[in-house]
C-alpha cells in the first residue's frame, strides 16, 4: 500500500516590507499539482491608514489566475477594461490566454481606513489547446459559489467539483480547488482528483501517520480512500486536477509549453513598453500609467501612480 503523502513542501518565505509571502509552487521536487503551477500565501498583514497593497500593471500568458481572499479587498483592473473589487468569498477568474495585463491594488476606502489582508493566489496552466485563446475575465460573487459541508468541515468550492457539488467557474480541463475550516475535530475524505495537494493555512492536519503543520503543503497520493484528520479550527485548501498535457515552462509572469513562447512574451512586453502601449501586443488597464518591467530592466519614472476615486468609477 503506497504512502498517502507523496511529498511535504515547506514554504519559501519572503519579506515584502512589513508582510510575508510564502511560496509553495513551483517547487524543485514538484513543479505542479494537476494544472496548478503557482501557489502563494500572502499575509496576514496589517495595512495602516494611507497604505495599501499595490501590484502595478504586469502581463501574463498561458494561464488563469485566481486570488482567494480571507481578509481585505483588492481592486482588479485589466487590459480588457475590467474593473472589479474582490472581497472574501468571491472569485475573480482571469484567463490570460495569448496575453493580458492587469493590476491589483487596495481599494480607496480600505486604503483610507487601514485594513488587514490575507490571500492565496494560484495560477493554473491552460491546456495546449487553449494557450493562445482570447483573454477573458469573469467575476463570481460569493453567493454563486457552492457551500461545502464535509462532515464537520465547512467551506467553499472555488472551482471544479467536489463532494457532489460543481462550481460555476469554467476551466477547459479537470480542476478542483476548495477551502474548508474544521468546526470540530474531524476526519474528512480528500476530494477525488488524479493529482491533488492539501495546504494547511492555519492549524494542523494529518494524513495517515504524516503530520502536516501550518503553512505546509502535502502532495497526496491519488489512491482512495484518503482520510484527512483535522483539529478544530484548522483551515485548509485542497487543489489539483488532471495532469498537464505536456511540461510547462515558467518565466516571470509567463507560463507556456515552449521556451520560444516565453521568449516571445518577454520581447512583446519590452516592445509594448517602448511603444507606449499604443497598438502593441500588450496594452494598459484603464487609468494605469505605471508598469512592472521585466526583471533587470529599468523601472518606470515615476515608478507608480495610484488611481483615486476621480480616475474611475469603482465597482464592488
Residue 288 lies in a domain: no
pLDDT-based confidence at 15, cuts 50/70/90? confident
What would the pLDDT profile of 260-294 be if each residue is shown by its tens digit?
999 999 999 999 999 999 999 999 999 999 999 99
Spell out the residues 6+ positions from residue 211 whose beta carbon is closer than 8 angstroms to its own.
204, 205
Residue 204 lies in a domain: yes
What would the pLDDT profile of 118-166 be if each residue is shown by its tens digit?
999 999 999 999 999 999 999 999 999 999 999 899 999 999 999 999 9
Say whether pLDDT at 168 is over 70. Answer: yes
The pLDDT, as a whole number, for residue 1 is 42
- Mean pLDDT estimate for the chain: 93
Residue 236 lies in a domain: yes
What would the pLDDT profile of 198-240 be if each residue is shown by its tens digit?
999 999 999 999 999 999 999 999 887 899 999 999 999 999 9
Say whether pLDDT at 18 is over 70. Answer: no
Give the closest residue to 150 by CA, choosing from 78, 266, 246, 230. 230
- Domain containing residue 145: 5-241
State the CATH number of the domain containing residue 198. Answer: 2.60.120.10
Residue 180 lies in a domain: yes
- Taking residue 118's Cβ as centre, other Cβ atoms within 10 Å add up to 18
The pLDDT, as a whole number, for residue 313 is 32
Give CA separation, 130 vs 66, 161, 178, 257, in Å.
17, 21, 23, 11
Residue with cell 464535509: 150
Residue 222 lies in a domain: yes
pTM: predicted TM-score of the whole model, two decimal places: 0.94
Residue 68 lies in a domain: yes
Residue 277 lies in a domain: no
Contact indicator for 120, 68 with CB cutoff of 8 Å? yes
Please count the structural domains in the chain.
1
Q: Distance from first CA to last CA of the chain, Å, rounded?
A: 50
Amino acid at each position: 500500500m503506497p504512502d498517502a503523502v507523496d511529498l511535504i513542501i515547506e514554504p519559501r518565505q519572503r519579506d515584502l516590507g512589513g508582510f510575508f509571502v510564502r511560496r509553495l509552487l513551483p517547487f524543485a521536487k514538484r513543479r505542479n499539482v494537476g494544472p496548478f503551477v503557482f501557489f502563494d500565501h500572502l499575509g496576514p498583514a496589517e495595512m495602516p491608514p494611507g497604505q495599501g497593497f499595490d501590484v502595478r500593471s504586469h502581463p501574463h500568458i498561458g494561464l488563469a489566475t485566481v486570488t482567494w481572499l480571507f481578509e481585505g479587498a483588492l481592486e482588479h483592473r485589466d487590459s480588457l477594461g475590467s474593473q472589479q473589487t474582490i472581497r472574501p468569498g468571491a472569485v475573480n477568474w482571469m484567463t490570460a490566454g495569448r496575453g493580458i495585463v492587469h493590476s491589483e491594488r487596495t481599494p480607496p476606502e480600505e486604503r483610507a481606513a487601514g485594513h488587514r489582508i490575507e490571500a492565496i493566489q494560484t495560477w493554473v496552466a491552460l491546456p495546449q489547446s487553449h494557450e493562445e485563446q482570447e483573454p477573458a475575465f469573469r467575476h463570481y460573487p460569493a453567493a454563486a459559489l457552492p457551500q461545502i459541508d464535509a462532515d464537520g468541515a465547512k467551506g467553499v468550492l472555488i472551482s471544479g467539483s467536489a463532494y457532489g457539488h460543481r462550481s460555476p467557474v469554467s476551466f477547459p480541463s479537470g480542476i478542483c480547488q476548495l477551502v474548508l475550516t474544521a468546526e470540530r475535530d474531524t476526519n474528512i475524505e480528500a476530494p477525488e482528483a488524479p493529482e491533488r495537494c492539501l495546504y494547511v493555512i492555519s492549524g494542523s492536519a494529518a494524513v495517515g501517520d504524516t503530520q502536516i503543520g501550518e503553512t505546509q503543503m502535502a502532495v497526496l497520493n491519488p489512491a482512495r480512500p484518503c482520510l484527512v484528520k483535522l483539529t478544530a479550527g484548522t483551515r485548509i485548501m485542497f487543489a489539483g486536477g488532471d495532469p498537464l498535457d505536456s511540461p510547462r515552462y515558467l518565466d516571470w509572469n509567463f507560463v507556456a509549453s515552449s521556451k520560444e513562447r516565453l521568449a516571445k512574451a518577454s520581447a512583446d512586453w519590452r516592445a509594448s513598453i517602448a511603444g507606449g502601449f499604443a497598438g502593441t501586443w500588450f496594452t494598459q488597464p484603464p487609468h494605469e500609467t505605471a508598469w512592472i518591467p521585466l526583471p533587470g530592466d529599468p523601472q518606470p519614472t515615476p515608478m507608480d501612480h495610484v488611481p483615486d476615486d476621480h480616475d474611475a468609477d469603482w465597482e464592488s
